[in-house]
């Protein structure tokens, strides 16, 4: 099955058949999650209505890290097998990851002003997330610089894997440093979020995941097509 | 400063904008891929013409 997926024609056919369905189903989940989050979930006792930015901020922040890890997975596969599909997907994930990072940073800043009194502080969580954006932009620039994409695969894979050091730093920054950003609300041991709020948030997370997967598959198949000319 | 609900709606609007921009970027790439395919098929057609011309001269 995995071997079949590594075949460019099979991948192209599957991606063409599934990207729009995934993206539309994802958008439906996002809309449902937002409707529950904005109109049904209760108001937060301390933050009031502004906490509802959580339904965009948290899924975007998680996606920014998750998409990077998936790109690293493709980088490893490409390093070992040098396939065209893994090379295309590695590239396709970068713009979506960068956009999710921008969304997380901007919505975080907008949420920060009424709750912390400032749009931005150089706190460990926010700074490491900003570094993630620079890493994404650097990788996109590195990819654009290469004249022949097939020759830059290995270089891009190595750069991606080096940048992965930042992901655990973002995740653990609230543990390692005394940050203005709050600590974990969701962890392996459970959630400290009200069930109604958590339900809407998980729907948004699922919706973001599916929409991003659809958009990445669409970009991946086009990169693959352009590569094979 | 934005009111609480304005902040929330700006976040939702940004979310829609980002998804739209991502789709648009993918769409632009599709056009580029089509152009590459067209160019490569035109190249091969031109090569065919050159070969035919050479054959005729011989």
Please write the tens of the pLDDT for every residue from A171-201: 988 888 887 887 777 776 777 788 889 999 9
**A225 interaction partners in chain B (CB closer than 8 Å):** 33, 36-37
B56 pLDDT tier (thresholds 50, 70, 90): low
Comparing CB atoms, the residue among B11, B22, B29 nearest residue A222 is: B29
Comparing CB atoms, the residue among B1, B19, B36 nearest residue A113 is: B1
DSSP-derived letter for residue A46 is T
Angle, CA of A59, A98 and B17, to the nearest 5° = 65
**B12 interaction partners in chain A (CB closer than 8 Å):** 34, 38, 55-56
**Model confidence pLDDT, tens digit, residues B20-55:** 999 999 888 887 777 766 666 655 555 444 434 544
Q: Name the β-bridge partners of A191.
A: A186
Task: Give me the pLDDT at residue B47, please.
Answer: 47
End-to-end CA distance of chain B: 80
End-to-end CA distance of chain A: 26
**B21 interaction partners in chain A (CB closer than 8 Å):** 99
Comparing CB atoms, the residue among B2, B12, B29 nearest residue A56 is: B12
Task: Give me the pLDDT at residue B58, please.
Answer: 45
pTM to 2 decimal places: 0.88
Task: Give me the pLDDT at residue A150, please.
Answer: 72
DSSP-derived letter for residue A43 is P
């Amino acid at each position: 099955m995995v071997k079949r997926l590594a075949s460019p024609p099979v991948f192209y056919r599957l991606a063409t058949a599934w990207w729009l369905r995934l993206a539309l189903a994802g958008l439906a989940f996002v809309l449902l999650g937002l409707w529950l989050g904005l109109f049904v979930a209760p108001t937060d006792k301390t933050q009031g209505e502004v906490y509802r930015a959580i339904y965009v901020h948290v899924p975007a922040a998680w996606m920014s890290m998750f998409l990077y890890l998936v790109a690293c997975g493709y980088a490893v596969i490409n390093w070992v097998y040098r396939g065209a599909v893994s090379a295309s997907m590695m590239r396709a994930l970068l713009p979506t990851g960068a956009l999710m990072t921008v969304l997380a940073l901007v919505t975080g800043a907008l949420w920060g002003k009424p709750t912390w009194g400032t749009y931005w502080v150089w706190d460990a969580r926010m700074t490491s997330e900003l570094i993630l954006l620079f890493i994404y932009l650097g990788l996109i620039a590195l990819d654009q610089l290469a004249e022949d994409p097939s020759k830059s695969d290995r270089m891009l894979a190595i750069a991606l894997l080096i940048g992965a050091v930042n992901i655990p730093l973002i995740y653990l920054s609230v543990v390692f440093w005394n940050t203005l950003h709050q600590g974990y609300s969701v962890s392996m041991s459970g959630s400290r979020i009200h069930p109604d709020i958590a339900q809407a948030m998980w729907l948004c997370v699922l919706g973001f995941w599916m929409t991003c997967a659809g958009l990445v598959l669409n970009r991946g198949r086009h990169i693959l097509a352009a590569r094979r000319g | 400063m934005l009111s609480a609900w304005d902040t929330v709606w700006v976040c939702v609007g940004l979310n829609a904008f980002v998804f739209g921009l991502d789709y648009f970027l993918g769409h632009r790439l599709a056009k580029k891929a089509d152009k590459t395919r067209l160019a490569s098929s035109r190249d091969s057609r031109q090569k065919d013409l050159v070969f035919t011309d050479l054959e005729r001269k011989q």
